[in-house]
DNA sequence: TTGTAAGCGTTATCAT
DNA sequence: ATGATAACGCTTACAA
């Protein structure tokens, strides 16, 4: 395959001139530029970008770490990231980690190996200390609140958002509230559970340990939760459920079993996913798209600044009132 | 940041020896190897992979082109790809194209620029001729049947599969069948519509133009389809719907409106997605996961062979009988 | 406006 | 078993 030297020789110019044409530098006469362009066309030449990356020290690529691409929560954030990356002519390299530290480390190692210019961590199993180590090799941003670390973050205050959701339910008069939690190891799940238990205690609400249902991540988990709810001697008046798709599964199964919603059971979802609109689920909009977009904008800026300072951006949230509460 | 030269100097060996240690070559004495290893540790050294890519002419990365990551159809294929890529220690670069030719070309250009070793095209808006041009720069495989071209393919016979679905419905006694089609431009949609219309004609089934519903890609589209079905003066006895999530939307909305399924309306889905199991939707399993896995295995083999020949692999399919037909 | 030559950080070749 | 040295294909001082 042709290289820059060959183009230079055939066009009767130096490699520098060819490089200038390639990079749209000024100070190239029209004659030479045309000659170069024509030769390039003729030989079907393109640059070997590996050589460019080597000499420039940049790759124009950013990696994104997330556990599952097929989870709505993450795909919405991903859309935000992708949109901004496109605007900046950047490439996104996706890493579906399944929360495997090993996979996540691999991506951070890519940063170290100079294969990418930065890393966006949407959700991780990694300890903040580990991430912090890698900031030495390039900019990193997380979509989780990890305190004011040496890397940036765009995040939702899960604690406050969850409490607001609970307040909304008690405001509607519900005095016993169950909770379908998402992935047990998920960083947000831990926070939300704390918010939940504290809220229950503060407001002296009724509570049974079986109202706390763990590891609900799919429609089927929601359906299973509905079934176990039905078998309880004491059932909560309301359920708060992270993920509208899980809420959807619960609602469908509960209705199939003859429960009226919100009459017999109120359901509040989280994350404002498309299925939620279909089933008219009352939910919490976490602005996930904007989260992705902001994350990319920040890391892009950091890639291009000399000594970037970490940025901490807190996103807001709001309840979407529909008809399941 | 430290480079190989520095390591060599500090360890008191040549760069060649360092390189040998780095690549686990034989013929390095234990003494020197240990010295090198220790220096590497000490300086926190890693290779600049751009230099490696440049000299070796390989990158260990394969790009995947698909229109939408959040569509179940594609995410299942993606899972198959990802699993195999992991086994082969390959990196996957994801391109969400939205069926924009421009975006897809960008990826093919990466192949030309030597930034990736191969391309897996899951679904594309590109003409086969264009893809064929790029085979000059490296192996390409599609997950669509495009005839026996200069690039490989793993594909489902959408025509035959769709007809089998229709036969299943007529076998159950339904004599009027409507069809919710997926994305209008989707390559499979075109094929399936042909199969549909031909089947209707061959079997002299009842048919109204309004039973053919276009561009159904989401749960909400399915719900909307249910609503328009309800308004028809003549309603089909059965619906065949590409995508179980679309079928789910239709079923939920239809039942909400008092329709019994399959009593008043039989529904057959396609693609065997998780939601289909929850709602007990009778569907067609297209082996999408296996499709992704096979695609990667083939391209991986081609990357490592001198003069690769195109491979054409046809996948089978089967009906999963549940309770909506 | 143009060209020469020195890198970038590796691996490959070919000695010894 | 080890090491010079030449690639790989490009950008960028620096000189003219």
Whether CB of B37 is under 7 Å from strand D: the answer is no
Chain B residues inside the 8 Å CB shell of A49: 110, 113-115
Residues 41-70 on chain A lying near strand C, CB distance under 7 A: 51, 54-55
Amino acid B224 CA to nucleotide C13 C1' distance, rounded Å:
69
Q: Does at least one atom of strand C sit less than 7 Å from the CB of A258?
A: no
* Angle at alpha carbon of residue B74, lines to B72 and B79, rounded to 5°: 95
Token pair belonging to A26: 């000024």
Which residues does chain A have within 8 Å of residue B112's beta carbon, measured at their own beta carbons?
Answer: 46
Which residues in chain A, range 11-30, keep a C-beta under 7 Å from any nucleic strand C atom?
12-17, 20, 26-29
3-state secondary structure of B94: strand
Is the CB of B15 less than 7 A from some atom of nucleic acid strand D? yes
The span from the CA of B30 to the CA of B13, in Å, is: 13
Q: Please tell me which of the candidates B46, B218, B277 has its beta carbon nearest to residue A113.
A: B46
A136 touches strand D (CB under 7 A): no
pLDDT score at A95? 85
pLDDT of the residue at B197: 96
Residue of least CA–C1' distance to C5: A16
Total Cβ atoms within 10 A of residue A255: 18
Q: Residue B54: its chain A contacts at CB < 8 A?
A: 48, 50-51, 54
Structure tokens at B231: 């308004």
**Predicted pLDDT of residue A89:** 87
Q: How far apart are CA A13 and CA B141, in angstroms?
A: 39
Q: Shortest Cα distance from B169 to chain A (angstroms)?
A: 26
Closest C1' nucleotide to B25's CA: D1
Which contiguous run of DSSP H or E holds residue A119? strand A118-121
Give chain A positions within 8 Å (CB) of B70: 69-70, 72, 75-76, 78-79
Identify the pLDDT of residue A323.
96
* Cβ within 8 Å, pair B59-A50: yes
Q: What is the pLDDT of residue B85?
A: 94
Nearest residue to nucleotide D11 when comparing alpha carbons to its C1'? A55
Inter-chain residue contact A114 with B53, CB threshold 8 Å: no
Task: Calculate the CA B13 to chain-centre distance.
Answer: 48
Q: Sheet of A177-180: strands edge to edge?
A: A212-213, A177-180, A238-241, A266-268
- Chain C nucleotides covered by protein, CB below 7 Å: 1-5, 7-13
**What does the block give as tokens for A203?**
């407001």
pLDDT value, residue B71: 76
| Protein CA A15 to sugar C1' C14 (Å) | 29
Which residues 210-269 in chain A show a CB within 8 A of chain B? Answer: 218-220, 223, 249, 252-253
Round to a whole number and report the distance in Å from the CA of A139 to the C1' of C1. 39
CA dist., res. B158 & res. A64, Å (int): 34
B2 CB below 7 A from strand D atoms: no
User: DSSP assignment, residue A140?
Assistant: E
pTM of the complete model: 0.77
Tell me whether the omega of the peptide bond preceding residue B101 falls within 30 degrees of 0, making it cis: no
Query: What are chain B's domains?
Result: 4-56 (1.10.260.40), 61-156+288-316 (3.40.50.2300), 158-285 (3.40.50.2300)
Our CA-based measurement puts residue A295 at a distance from the nearest CA of chain B, in whole angstroms, of 18
Q: Which residues of A touch B48 (CB under 8 A)?
A: 54, 113-114
Contacts of B76 in chain A (CB under 8 A): 70
In this prediction, the residues of chain B whose per-residue pLDDT falls under 50 are none
The verdict on a CB contact (< 8 Å) between B277 and A220 is yes
Chain A residue with Cα closest to B47: A113
How many angstroms is C1' of D7 away from CA of A101? 38
Please classify residue A306 by burial: count the beta carbons closer than 10 Å to its beta carbon, then call 0-12 exposed, 13-18 middle and 19+ buried.
exposed
Query: ∠ CA A39-A44-A45 to the nearest 5 degrees?
Result: 75
Q: What pLDDT was estimated at residue B275?
A: 86
Q: What is the pLDDT of residue A270?
A: 94
Nucleic acid strand C within 7 Å of B149 CB: no
Token pair of A196 as six digits: 């939940």
Nearest nucleotide (CA of A26 to C1'): C1
Partner residue opposite A50 with nearest CB, options B50, B78, B218 = B50
Contacts A–B by Cβ distance under 8 A: 96
Measured distance between the N- and C-terminal CA atoms of chain A, rounded to whole angstroms: 65
Q: CB of residue B16 closer than 7 A to nucleic acid strand D?
A: yes
Angle at B79 between CA B304 and CA A155, to 5 degrees: 120
Tell me whether strands B212-213 and B238-241 are parallel, antiparallel or unpaired.
unpaired
Q: Is the CB of B46 under 7 A from strand C?
A: yes
Q: Point out the residues of chain A with pLDDT beneath 70.
A: 185
Q: Is A50 on the interface with B (CB under 8 A)?
A: yes
pLDDT in tens, A220-252: 899 999 999 999 999 999 999 999 999 999 999
> In Å, how far is B210's CA from the nearest CA of chain A?
23
- Which residue carries 């929360």 as its tokens? A99
């Amino acid at each position: 395959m042709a290289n820059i030297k060959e183009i230079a020789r055939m066009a009767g110019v130096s490699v520098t001139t060819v490089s200038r044409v390639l990079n749209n530098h000024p100070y190239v006469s029209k004659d030479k530029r045309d000659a170069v362009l024509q030769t390039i066309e003729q030989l079907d030449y393109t640059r070997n970008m590996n050589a460019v990356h080597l000499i420039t020290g940049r790759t124009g690529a950013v990696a994104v770490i997330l556990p599952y691409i097929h989870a709505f929560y993450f795909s919405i954030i991903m859309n935000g990231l992708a949109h901004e990356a496109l605007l900046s002519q950047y490439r996104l390299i996706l890493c579906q980690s399944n929360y495997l530290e090993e996979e996540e480390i691999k991506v951070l190692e890519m940063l170290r190996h100079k294969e990418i210019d930065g890393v966006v961590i949407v959700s991780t199993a990694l300890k903040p200390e580990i991430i912090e180590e890698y900031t030495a090799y390039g900019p990193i941003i997380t979509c989780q609140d990890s305190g004011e670390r040496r890397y940036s973050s765009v995040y939702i205050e899960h604690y406050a958002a969850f409490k607001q959701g609970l307040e909304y339910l008690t405001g509607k008069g519900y005095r016993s509230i169950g909770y379908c939690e998402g992935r047990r190891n998920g960083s947000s799940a831990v926070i939300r559970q704390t918010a939940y238990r504290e809220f229950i205690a503060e407001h002296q609400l009724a509570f049974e340990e079986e109202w706390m249902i763990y590891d609900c991540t799919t429609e089927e988990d929601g359906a299973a939760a509905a079934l176990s709810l039905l078998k309880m001697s004491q059932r909560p008046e309301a359920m708060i459920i992270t993920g509208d798709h899980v809420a959807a599964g619960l609602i469908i199964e509960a209705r199939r079993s003859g429960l009226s919603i919100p009459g017999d059971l109120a359901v509040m979802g989280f994350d404002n996913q498309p299925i939620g609109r279909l089933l008219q689920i009352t939910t919490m909009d976490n602005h996930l798209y904007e989260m992705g977009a902001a994350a990319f904008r920040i890391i892009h800026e950091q890639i291009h600044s000399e000594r970037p300072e970490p940025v901490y951006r807190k996103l807001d949230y709001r309840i979407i009132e529909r008809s399941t509460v």
